[in-house]
Homo-oligomer: A and B are copies of this chain.
Amino acid sequence: MLNTERMKRVFANLNTKQMMISDPYAIFYLTGKWIFPGERFLGLLIREGKTPVLFVNELFRFDEEIGVEKVYLKDTDDLPAIFAKYVDQNESLGVDKILPARFLLPMMEKGIAKNFFNTSLAVDTTRAVKDEAEIALMRESSIINDRAMAEFRKLIRTGISEKEVAEQMLNIYKALGAEGYSFEPIVAFGKNAADPHHMPDDTRLEEGMTVLFDVGGKYKNYCSDMTRTFFYKYEPGERQKEVYNLVRRANEEAEAYVKPGVRLCDIDAKARDVIAKGGFGPDFTHRLGHFIGLEDHEYGDVSAAFDNKVVPGNIFSIEPGIYHPAILGCRIEDLILVTETGHEVLNHYSHDIEVID
């Protein structure tokens, strides 16, 4: 059912009077209805002071009333001609960032609106501030992820491959109450952990390797995301401990700094400074974090490029890493919620150095 509170917040952020929203996640966020149309068009046209119109292929016909006018489309329909009946041609039309060229260019050619703007930010900045219902689900999702990490750790044994570990993760999430992955899990042994985008392969675990898990599940549509780095059957050496503890301090100092009003770029800088002062600046090669919710990566980065101030309800990852093939590849990641008075770290799995025997 149309969430009128979220709709109001979108309009408050929107600088056009009408917008065609095509992102299935945004449509679910606003209406509670999931439709994944594949290659076909799906759009929720929102208009100031009027009932929203959902344009959806007749293949996805549904009976329930969700507080919008439904317009069913056939594969052979002239879409811009149909949209033109509902869009005010004398006004600009906002579209969202993912609207594909195959739909956007014909709308522009037919001139169904005065102008076209990417107004995704109106929806994205609304979604970036989670409401109470969402916060409750995000908390629960991360609690499941904490439990999942404890289970994944138990899968580790000499000779098992990264893929063999990864293949067991989905069932563990399901057993813990999640419905699926937030993203394909990263399992990285040894030097593979020094590649931040490593995908599980046939590398087999040996004593003396590190084990990195970057994993997340979905609970009632809301994503978790956490990374931990373990040591398999060996005590890390001095240099490795130094790297691990730098990453840990970067994580914890950045987290401690989070409260309403601080800038995302300054949170990033907190972590980056710790690692740079420790002499490993060039080995921390990515942004500190990303926003998360219905999708594992939502609008908003914790990076030098974002100077927005955080507000209560923001949820994002804090995930510093050092990728030094000769010493250690290591990342420690939590999700964090900005609260009225400060923050709440949604993950509770320990940051301590943990040797798996």
- Where the two chains meet, the residues of A that have a C-beta atom closer than 8 Å to any C-beta of B are 38-39, 59-60, 75-76, 95-102, 104-105, 116-118, 120, 196-197, 285-287, 297, 301, 303-305
Cβ A100 vs Cβ B102 within 8 A = no
Query: Is there an interface contact between A303 and B75, defined as CB atoms closer than 8 Å?
Result: yes
User: Are the CB atoms of A75 and B39 closer together than 8 Å?
Assistant: no
Least Cβ–Cβ distance between A98 and chain B, in angstroms: 5
| 8 Å CB contact of A100 from B100, B196, B286, B303 | B100
Q: Lowest 10 A-B CB distances belong to which pairs?
A: A97-B102, A99-B101, A76-B305, A98-B100, A105-B118, A101-B118, A95-B101, A101-B104, A97-B101, A102-B118
Contacts A98-B100, A100-B97, A104-B104 given; does A75 touch B301 at CB 8 Å = yes
**A287: B residues at CB distance < 8 A:** 75
How far is A296 from B244 in the complex, measured between Cα atoms in Å?
A: 44
Give 24 pairs: A residue, B residue, CB < 8 Å, sorted on A.
Answer: A39-B297, A59-B196, A59-B197, A59-B286, A60-B197, A75-B287, A75-B301, A75-B303, A75-B305, A95-B101, A96-B101, A97-B100, A97-B102, A98-B100, A98-B101, A98-B102, A99-B100, A100-B100, A100-B101, A101-B116, A102-B118, A102-B120, A104-B104, A105-B118
Report the separation of the CA atoms of residues A100 and B104 in the bound assembly, to the nearest whole angstrom: 9
A304 touches B76 (CB 8 A): yes
Most interface-central of A60, A99, A100, A116 (chain B CB within 10 A): A100
The CA of A60 and the CA of B198, in the complex, are separated in Å by 11
Hey, which chain B residues are within 8 Å of A297, CB to CB?
38-39
In the complex, which residues of chain B have a beta carbon less than 8 angstroms from the beta carbon of A76?
304-305
- Hey, which chain B residues are within 8 Å of A286, CB to CB? 59
- The answer for the CA separation of A354 and B146 in the assembled complex, in Å, is 48
Q: Please give the distance in Å from A71's CB to the nearest CB on chain B.
A: 18
Residues from chain B with a CB closer than 8 A to the CB of A197 are 59-60
| Minimum CB distance partner of A305 in chain B | B76
Taking CB atoms, residues of chain B closer than 8 Å to A101 are 95-101, 104, 116, 118, 120
Q: Which residues of B contact A98 (CB under 8 A)?
A: 100-102
Give Cα distance in the complex from A237 to B39, angstroms: 38
Residues of chain B lying within 8 A (CB to CB) of residue A104:
101, 104
User: In the complex, A60 Cα to B197 Cα: how many Å?
Assistant: 8
